Amino acid sequence: MPEGKCPVCGCKQFYVKNPEDEYDIFEFECKGGKVRFDTDMDASETPAVDESTETFCNDCAWHDKFDKLK
């Protein structure tokens, strides 16, 4: 599967909000259909991202469910 891109601006960087603190975000890329969080982030601290997770573009105002990136 190709890299995920924002359907509006083409950016490849996204983020999801922490379900327990909406001001805390987790940035990632979608490579090969898989979520890849920043390398310095502990995998046990990252939220689960599935098809219905609200996902936000890092460059523009686009946001929708994660499955819209595929």
pTM of the predicted structure, to 2 decimals: 0.84
Rounded to an integer, what distance in angstroms lies between the CA atom of residue 47 and that of residue 54? 12
The pLDDT of residue 56 is above 50: yes
**Which two tokens mark 62?**
């686009």
Res. 1 pLDDT band, cuts 50 70 90: very low
Helix (H, G, I), strand (E, B) or coil at 60: coil
Res. 47 pLDDT band, cuts 50 70 90: confident
DSSP H/E element including 34: strand 34-37
Q: Where are the domains of the chain?
A: 13-69
